Amino acid sequence: MEKFRETVCWLPSANMRFIRGGTFVMGSDKHYEEEQPAHAETVDAFVIDKYPVTNEQFANFVHETGYVTLAERPARAEDYPGAKSEMLRPASVVFQQPRCPVDLSNHYNWWTYVAGADWRHPEGPNSSIDNRAQHPVVHIAYEDAEAYATWIGKELPTEAEWEFAARGGLNTGTYAWGEEFAPDGRQMANTWQGEFPWQNLAIDGYEGTAPVGQFPPNGFGLFDMIGNVWEWTSDWYVAHRQPQKACCGGEGAKHGDRERSYDPTIPGIKIPRKVIKGGSFLCAPNYCRRYRPAARMGQPIDTSTCHVGFRLIIRQRRFATEFLSPEADVLNSNASANLSY
């Protein structure tokens, strides 16, 4: 263990950061109900991407593999009994800003299923990612994130790993940077200023996604953990609960229950949900104050949108197996080669 830690701490990797792991307070009793109860959680050491995966990185993956994302494929009718044929066309969910205040209880007032929307066309078929190479990739369904992770040799973080990393060492802080949302008026993340969803003041400089790394890093040197885009985690979306034993943190921690992750408000549709974290450029004080490490949402695994992306980790057990060697020189050259992407 110590050898791993000492070694990874000085790895010449520009794009990943070593997280030592530890015990922290996960969740919150002060905000939304789904974040309760605040409870102790333990994670082991891991290495995590400094930024969300970008369009450029995802384009490399697609170029190398020919991978086609879920949003680019027609849905299978047998998977969606009763769905209208137009709903089976390749499509994804896009935010469309209304021109005036709308009923906030109906999210269809701003979410639209758009045929031809995908990671290359974030707002629909007439849009593109030209000049957005360094923006986080979006319109990524869970299986797309997993496919990229498998290709590049990393993994999605658990919710606990993600939240520990997002806190940046501030064990119980409300925000990833402290207790004040905008210290001295400074915007610390790409969120929504103004009255959602019709008034986007963009005081932070961005109406939509921003290139990664435009806002201050957290205490662990990680960028965009909060705001910009939501990020997939590997946990099923179930209620927080106390860990049964302190020994069971890290990779072996709770992964939840696929069946219990179904949305109870739509009992006829059984699409399991994974936890997404961090909030996005659409999170606003008047609607969704989820620009905090403890915040969480359940995202159906088959649903891609214009504000959900991902970042990846390498866990210490796998890292120790595949990268560590008794010979330090071999170790460092291998690690350098494999962590520089």
In sequence order, the 6+-apart residues with CB closer than 8 A to the CB of 124 are: 94, 114, 115, 116, 117
For Ca ion, give the closer residue by CB, 286 or 333.
286
By C-beta, is 79 or 207 nearer to Ca ion? 207
Choosing from 49, 72, 155, 204, the residue that interacts with Ca ion (CB under 5 A) is 204
Least distance to Ca ion, CB of residue 244, Å: 40
Minimum CB separation of residue 202 from Ca ion in Å reads 5
Cis status of the peptide bond prior to 300, with omega within 30 of 0: no
Q: Which positions from 213 through 272 interact with Ca ion, judged by CB under 5 A?
A: none
Window 262-291: residues binding Ca ion (CB under 5 A) = 281
SS (H, E, C) the chain: CHHHHHHHHCCCCCCEEEECCEEEEECCCCCCHHHCCCEEEEECCEEEECCCCEHHHHHHHHHHHCCCCHHHCCCCHHHCCCCCHHHHCCEEEEECCCCCCCCCCCHHHCEEEEECCECCECCCCCCCCCCCCCCECCCCCHHHHHHHHHHHCCECCCHHHHHHHHHCCCCCCCECCECCCCHHHCCCCCCCCCCCCCCCCCCCCCCCCCCCCCCCCCCCCCCCCCCCCEEEEEEECCCCCCCCCHHHCHHHCCCCCCHHHCCCCCCCCCCCEEEEECCCCCCCCCCCCCCCCCCCEEEECCCCECCEECCCEEEHHHHHHHHCCCCHHHHHHHHHHHHCC
Cβ of residue 279: shortest distance to Ca ion, in angstroms? Answer: 11
Give whichever of 280 and 338 is closer to Ca ion, judged by the CB atom: 280
Which one-letter amino acid corresponds to residue 192?
A: W
Q: How far is the CB of 209 from Ca ion (least distance, A)?
A: 9
Which of 114/229 has CB closer to Ca ion? 229
Q: Give how many residues touch Ca ion by CB under 5 A.
A: 4
Shortest Å, Cβ 204 to Ca ion: 4
Candidate segments 52-60, 65-73, 110-118, 206-214, binder of Ca ion by CB under 5 A: 206-214
Token reading at 175: 């925000």
- Site for Ca ion contains 206 (CB under 5 A): yes
Smallest distance, Ca ion to C-beta of residue 95, A: 12
Least distance to Ca ion, CB of residue 117, Å: 20
Shortest Cβ distance from residue 201 to Ca ion (Å)?
8
Interaction of residue 46 with Ca ion, rule CB under 5 A: no
**Which of 281, 319 has the CB closer to Ca ion?**
281
142 to 201, contacts with Ca ion by CB under 5 A? 190
Nearer to Ca ion, 177 or 281 (CB): 281
Kindly state whether residue 310 participates in binding Ca ion, applying the rule CB under 5 A. Answer: no
CB of 256 or CB of 279, closer to Ca ion = 279
Closer residue to Ca ion, CB minimum distance, 51 or 319: 51
- Using CB under 5 A as the criterion, which residues of the chain lie in contact with Ca ion when the complex forms? 190, 204, 206, 281
